[in-house]
Structures are given as C-alpha cells and as structure tokens.
C-alpha cells in the first residue's frame, strides 16, 4: 500500500478516535446533568468528587490512570487510543459541566438522559472502531479474560464493586444507572460494527 494512503488511513482513524472520545465525554456529562443516575464508573467518579471537592472529570482521569497501572501485571500494552481515553474524556466532562447548566423539568431531564445513553453507545462504536487501543477499563476486562476468567463475570464483578463503592461515597444511582446497564451492551453491539473504520472493520467486528 502506498505510504500516502497509509498516512491518510491513520489520519482518518485518529479523527475517528478523537471524535468518539469527545462524544463519549459529552454523553457522560449529559448523564450527570440529567441527575437521574449515571453509569457505574461515573457513580464512583461522582462519589469521589463529592467527598473531595475535586471535579468529576478529574476523578475520571485519575481512576483511568490507576486502572491503567493494573495492566502491568496483566502484560497488556496500551495504544495511543488508550492514553487519549484516560485524558480526553475527563477533560470534556469537566468542560461540559462548567459551561452547560443542568436541565430543569423531569421531561427534559429524561430526554437528556436517553439521548446521553444512545450517544454513549455511538461514541463507544467510534473510538473502539478506530482500533487504536481500548480504554483502560476495557483493557483490564480483556486482560483478566485472557487469564482464563469469564469476561461476563469479570465485567459484572468489576462494575458491581465500582457501583457499590461509588454509591457509598454519595454517587448518584437511579433509573439512569439501570437504563445504562441494560442498554449499553445492545447499543455497542449495533454501533461497533456500524461505525468501524473501513480499514480495520474485520478487526473491530465482534465474534
């Protein structure tokens, strides 16, 4: 393949990666702004933020970096997408929460919540479809799975511990948490193959 084409494909994948990460941060902020419950990891980030006074997105960065350290004994190798995931999503969350006022009225909050969950699924398809490295939490799950553990049990166990810890710290658990839990799997199943970059489509498709 000519070098110019290779460079163009890499540029396309980088654009897709950053578009996915920015949209993921926006969707996370929408869930937080709706105040109807957030996904398990954001319950933890929000709980830590309320206990310490630090911003939720900042805790998302700190938690992502801490999870990335757990890759070392699992011999997982991060990609550029992994490192960008740690920083970009948290920065976007903090920016959104700083400039966008929370919606008022239950009907508006429900619309924001549902749109946030759907956008989160699309964002997941974009950044995973770029095939430039999984997020730190995804890599932890797959790394433990490669050691012979059930992926389903690993993911369930990790998110249950994270959710319980975040709830005890004061994170917002509600109908949005349940909606996210039951929706994100089917949404990812739709969006990952749909938004996979053509140059890496075969790698991104789930088995």
pLDDT in tens, 44-96: 999 999 999 999 999 999 999 999 998 888 888 888 999 999 999 999 999 99
pLDDT in tens, 4-35: 777 888 888 999 999 999 999 999 999 999 99
What b-and-e string marks burial along 97-119, b requiring 16 or more CB atoms within 10 Å of the CB?
beeeeebeeeeebbebbbebbbb
Question: What pLDDT was estimated at residue 73?
Answer: 84
* 183 Cβ contact list (under 8 Å, min separation 6): 117, 118, 121
Per the listing, tokens 């709980």 go with 47
Look up the pTM and report it. 0.87
CA–CA gap between residue 63 and residue 45 (Å, rounded):
8
């Amino acid at each position: 393949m000519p070098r110019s084409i290779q460079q163009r494909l890499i540029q396309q994948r980088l654009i897709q990666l950053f578009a996915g990460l920015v949209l993921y941060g926006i969707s996370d902020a929408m869930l937080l702004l709706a105040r109807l419950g957030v996904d398990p990891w954001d319950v933890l980030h929000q709980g830590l933020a309320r206990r310490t006074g630090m911003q939720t997105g900042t805790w998302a960065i700190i938690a992502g970096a801490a999870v990335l350290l757990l890759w070392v004994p699992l011999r997982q190798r991060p990609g550029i997408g992994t490192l960008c995931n740690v920083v970009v999503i948290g920065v976007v969350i903090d920016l959104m929460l700083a400039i966008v006022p929370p919606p008022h009225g239950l009907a508006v909050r429900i619309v924001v919540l549902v749109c946030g969950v759907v956008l989160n699924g699309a964002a997941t398809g974009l950044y995973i479809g770029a095939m430039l490295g999984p997020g730190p939490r995804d890599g932890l799950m797959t790394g433990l799975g490669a050691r012979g553990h059930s992926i389903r049990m690993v993911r369930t166990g990790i998110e249950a511990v994270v959710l319980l810890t975040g709830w005890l710290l004061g994170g917002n658990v509600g109908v949005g948490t349940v909606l996210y839990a039951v929706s994100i799997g089917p949404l990812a199943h739709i969006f990952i193959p749909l938004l996979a970059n053509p140059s890496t489509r075969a790698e991104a498709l789930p088995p």
